[in-house]
Structure 1
Amino acid sequence: MKLKKEIDHLVYTVFDLDATINMIEQKLGVRPEFGGYHKTQGTKNALLNLGNKCYLELLAIDDTNTEIPPLRWMGIDLLTSDKITRLAVKSDKLEEDSRLLKAINPEMGIINGGSRKTGDGSLLTWELTMPLSTPEVEIIPFMIDWKNEDNHPTKNLPVLCKLVKLYATHPMPESLESILGGLGTEIELIKSKEISIKAIIEGPGGILEL
């Protein structure tokens, strides 16, 4: 039996990063901090600490980056409305998890290094199993290894919000249970026509459901 892995972050993919930052500040009473740019992916982000080294990543297309054409990662070019499109799970055995993901989909387990400049100008680096550009929403998580605790994005973010609930909906949830279990990931699955990832977040100013 695989031990349960911890959620590292939720990817909330949006059309307008600034507007979403303002919306979350209004709803939760905490302003997400601008993170930086993913130069090799054509995206930019902002972060909201959810505690326990877990965070909400707001992800949007970087319109100033003309070098990266569609389709970009995380389903961002298929977006029909702002929504959580991906889950990232912590891994300290990336090669092993890569093999498990490749058994599900050969394209899912490709390991890549990533980096972005932070707001203070320092460089944040990581290794991950590469999130794909399709579908719009993927419930099967990608794995990420920050290599050391001092490298985690939440290190300098205030802990003012918490993740109250996380669940996913799918027309055939039973088809995902064994896959997620094999990856050591636990997430509540609810039967629905819609494929979605939902989160309830509580902050000092209120509660927000995404």
Structure 2
Amino acid sequence: MTAPGVVRTFDHLVVAVPDLAAGVREFEELTGVRTTPGGSYPGRGTANHIVPLVPRGWAGEPLTYLEILGPDPQQDPELAARSLPGVTRILAQRWAVHPDDLDATVAAAEQAEVDFGQVFDMSRNTPDGGLLEWRLTRRTPLAHGGAQPFLIDWGTSQHPADTLREAAATSYEAAGDAGREPAGASADTTDGSSSQPGLVLERLEFFGPDPEVLREAIRVLTGETVDVAQAPEPGVRAVISGPAGECVID
């Protein structure tokens, strides 16, 4: 059984927090999985941690993950306030898809009058001193409360999921040399298809006051149709399972 609401081109889920260090601790306690520092977003006022996230039923080693995004204490707090408006608790802020052709998907969205915002060239510094570069669509405020996905194209950069996989392999090798289990490891990490420690995305749920409009926007951007529930306010909800059990982030 595959994860309901998770489309073929799912890339990652963004979980926003008002304080990065405290939010990471809360997330790790909630899920039982240790996260990895991802790096900072220069000029955006934010930084992140990342963790493997594999949709239920997906085989192999998919390029998918979860990002915890919060204020970067090394940058101007006003920048973070603009990047993370209204974030007062841990929440599922938005989600990304990686289309086979970003430009073609953008053109289709324009023709269908789906407001995706604009295409931006992005980058962030990595902990090892490197620079990760990619392209994405960004709209302010978020379309449908973040329930409408944004598009991302990693280009020639190494995908964060691959970075996590390499780090996990190194951790296992070091732990084996020391005769112990690596921190954050879990015997039942995904759905049995991968030995990489991480979390399982059980399902994504979408809701809002205009279900048909949101459903059509998601179809245009992903090529797939998902269920959208009627609700006073729009948003996305993620059901995740890990070593600490199942949790809901909305």
Asked if these proteins are the same fold (TM beyond 0.5), I'd say: yes
Where in structure 2 are the equivalents of 1:146-161 lying within 5 Å?
Answer: 146-148=154-156, 151-157=158-164, 158=168, 159=196, 160-161=198-199
- Which residue of 205, 210, 213 maps to 1:175? 213
| Matched residue, 1:62 | 72
In the alignment, does 2:165 pair up with 1:165? no
- Which residue of 126, 143, 154 maps to 2:134? 126
Give the aligned residue type for 1:138. Answer: G
More displaced 10-residue stretch of structure 1: 41-50 or 186-195: 186-195
CA distance in 2, matches of 1:185, 1:22: 35
CA distance in 2, matches of 1:84, 1:69: 20
Please give the per-residue CA displacement for 1:113-171, whole angstroms capped at 9, x wherever unaligned.
111111222221111112434469222111001124x6100113243211011111112
TM-score (structure 1 length as normaliser): 0.84
Where in structure 2 are the equivalents of 1:79-98 lying within 5 Å?
Answer: 79-98=87-106
| Matched residue, 1:12 | 15
Which structure is larger by alpha-carbon Rg, 1 or 2? 2
Instruction: State how many pairs are aligned.
Output: 202
Local SS of the residue matching 2:128: coil
Measured after TM superposition, the shift of residue 181 of structure 1 is 1.2
5+ long unaligned stretches in structure 1? none
Local SS of the residue matching 1:115: strand
Measured after TM superposition, the shift of residue 187 of structure 1 is 3.8
Higher strand content, 1 or 2:
1
TM-score (structure 2 length as normaliser): 0.72
- Are the aligned partners of 2:65 and 2:161 in contact in 1 as well (CA < 8 Å)? yes
| Cα RMSD for the two superposed structures | 2.4
| Identity percentage of aligned residues | 31
Give the aligned residue type for 1:122. Answer: G
- Are the aligned partners of 1:32 and 1:48 in contact in 2 as well (CA < 8 Å)? yes
Higher helix content, 1 or 2:
2
Give the aligned residue type for 2:48. Answer: N
- Are the aligned partners of 1:166 and 1:188 in contact in 2 as well (CA < 8 Å)? no
CA distance in 1, matches of 2:88, 2:242: 27
